[in-house]
Chain A
Amino acid sequence: MNFIKLAIKNLMRRKMRTMLTVFGVAIAVAALFSLSSFKDGYEKQLTKELDNMGIHILAVPKGCPYEAASLIIHGGVIPKYLSLADLEQVKTMQGVDLATPMLLQQFYKDETPHIVYGINAADMQKLKSWWKVEGRFFSDDEDHVMVIGKNIAEKKNLQIGSTMPFGPNKEPFTIVGILDRTGGQDDEFHFLPLAAAQRVFDKDGLITTIAIRVKDITKISQVGQTLETIPDVQVVTMSQIMGTILNLVGSAQTLLISVIIVAIIICAVGIINTLLMSVNERIREFGMMKALGASGVDIGKLVLIETLFITISGGILGAATSIIASSLIEGFVRGIIPYAPSGQLISSDPQLILLCLAFSVVIGIICGIYPALRSARLTPIGAIRSSYE
C-alpha cells in the first residue's frame, strides 16, 4: 500500500465525480490553451505577413484612410489613384532604395472576387526575393500574359500555357508562370504587367499605390516624412498598418478573451468547489486515519495526489483536445475576428502546454493544501466530530 495506490482507489470510489471533474479541468485548460496560443499565433502571423510584403512604405493617394490602406495588402481596392508622375517624384526622393508602381483591381467571375495586381515584374522580384516562379515572369512590354498564385492554380486547375478569359471584356490571357506557394496572400492573386492591367481595366496612366523599399530601415519614418511633401501622396508605413489592424482586431479580441477568461474562472471555481467538497465529506475518514497514525502532512499528501491526478489528467486531456481541434477552433475564431492574417493562427507552443499544465497543477495544489492545513491542527476526534458540524 502506498499513497498513490490509495489515492487511485479513492478516486475510483467516486468514478462519476472524478470523471466530471477531469472534464471540467480539461475544458478550462482547452479554453486557456486555445486562447493563449491564438493570441500568440495571431501576432506572429501578422508580423510574418507584413515582413513577407518586403515593403517598408506604401505611398497611397491623399485622403485614403489608414484602414483602407491596410487592406491593400489584402487586395482591397481603393477608388483613388496616383499618377506615373508621382512615381517619378517618389523615385528621386532621398533614402528611397526602390519604388515600384502597383495597380490593384478586382473583378468578379463565378461569383468570387478575383484580385489583380498590375506590377513591374523585375522590381517586384527584387522586393520579394523569396518569390520563386514555375515558368517565367513577364516583362513590362508584354500583354495577354499573367502569373498566378499557387492557390488559384490549384483551385481552378490551371497549368502553365493555359489560357483564361480575363477582365471585364473576357480577353484571353495566357498563364506564363505559377508562383510557388508563399503561405501568404500572394497565393491568391493574379499578377499582370502594369501596362496590360491599366489597359484592361481602363486605368491608363493610373496606379493605386507605390511600394517603397528604403535604404536604411532605421530611417523609415524620416523617409516617410519627405515623401509626404509630394502633394498627392500620403504615406503608410508597415508599422502603422500593423497598428491599424491590431486596433481593428483589438476590440473583438478583447471581447473574446474576456468571455473565455470568465469561463475559465467559472470552471476553476467549480473544480475547486468539487475537490473541496469531496475533502470535506471525508474529514471523518481523515480523522480515522489520524487515529491510525496519519499526520496532517500525510492527509495533505493523499489529497494532493488525488487532486493532482485529476488536474493533471484534465490538463493533458484539455491540451491534447485543443491541439487536435485547433483547426476547428481556428475556423471559429476567424469567423469572429475582423481581420485574420493567412497561415496558421493557432500555434501549439510547447511552452504553452507547460503553462496550461502549470495552471492545472496550481489548482491541484491549492485544493491539496487546504485539507492538510485543516486536518493538521485537528485531533482525530476533532476531525471525526467536525464532519457533523
Chain B
Amino acid sequence: MKDAIVINELAKEYVRGSETIHALQNVNFTIQQGEFVAIVGPSGSGKTTLLNLLGCLDRPSRGTITVNGINVSDLPEGKMVKVRRQNIGFIFQSFFLLPTLTVRENIELPLMFSHRKDGNGKIDSILNTVGLEKRADHLPHQLSGGEMQRVAIGRALINEPKIILADEPTGNLDSATAQRIYDLLDSLHKQGLTLIVVTHNMDLAQMAHRVIKLKDGEIAG
C-alpha cells in the first residue's frame, strides 16, 4: 500500500507575546492510503493543530509533511491550493456552511473553486450518501446540527478527495445523531477513502484501525 501522509519531525509553535507555545513537537508518523486513523488526546494537546497541518490549512514551524507524494512543508500558498483541491476534504467541527446557500449549493461550492461541473448527477448521489435528498433546497438555518454536519461531509466529498480530515465531527451533536455520522464516515472509509478523525469520542475511536494519542503536543505511547 502507498503512503497517503508522511510526517517527519513535525513541530508547530505559536508565539504569544514573549511566550512561545509548543503546540506540537517531534511528531512522526505515516498514514497509508485507505487507513482509518483516529487522533485523540486531552484538550489543548494539539489535535486541531495537527489536523490543520495535515490538511494543508496551516504551515509547520519545523519538519516535513508529504501528502500523496508531494512535500507541502514549504510550498507557496498558490500551489498549496491545488494540493488541497485535489487531495483533501476537510470537515470542521463548527460546519462553516454559507448561510445564504441551500444544502445543494453548499455541497456544490467546492466544484466552483476547482472549476469543474456537476457531471452525471454527482451532487444527487452525494445528497443520497449523506441522506439529505429531501433537504436539498433548504437553507442551513432550517437544518438540525446533525444535518448541517452531513452537509459539511457532503461538501468535503464533492471534489472526490483521497483523504478526508474531520475535526471532532460529532463534537456538537448528541449521541444518536453522532452515531449516524460515524456510520456515514465508516461507509466512506469502506469505499476506500483515507480517513483521519480527531475525536474525544471513544466509540468513534474504536472504529478506527489505529489511534494516535497526543499529549502536550507529542505522541504519547
**A interface residues with partner B (beta carbon < 8 Å):** 1-3, 6, 9-10, 12-13, 285, 288-296, 298, 376-382
Contacts and interface: CB of A to CB of B under 8 A. Distances in A.
B140 interface: no
Contacts of B150: none
A91 B19 CA distance: 99
A379 B59 contact: yes
Interface residues of B, number: 28
B113 A292 contact: yes
Contacts of A12: 100
Interface residues of A: mostly helix, strand, loop or mixed? helix
Contacts of A1: 101, 105, 108-109, 111-112
B107 to A, nearest CB: 9
A293 B159 contact: yes
17 contacts: A2-B112, A6-B101, A6-B112, A285-B96, A288-B96, A289-B109, A289-B113, A290-B57, A291-B90, A292-B113, A293-B85, A295-B81, A295-B113, A296-B81, A379-B58, A380-B58, A381-B52
A7 to B, nearest CB: 11
B57 A292 contact: no
B47 interface: no
A298 B96 contact: no
A376 B78 contact: yes
B34 interface: no
B55 A293 contact: no
Nearest to B115: A298
A12 B55 CA distance: 32
Given A1-B108, A288-B96, A296 B78 contact: yes
A296 B100 contact: no
Given A292-B110, A294-B113, A296-B81, 6 more contacts: A289-B109, A290-B84, A292-B155, A293-B113, A296-B77, A377-B77
A178 to B, nearest CB: 67
Contacts of A294: 81, 113
A381 B58 contact: yes
B186 to A, nearest CB: 23
Given A9-B101, A288-B92, A293-B84, A376 B112 contact: no
Interface string B58-88: 1100000000000000000110110011000
B128 interface: no
Contacts of B144: none
A285 B98 contact: yes
Contacts of A380: 57-58
Contacts of B78: 295-296, 376
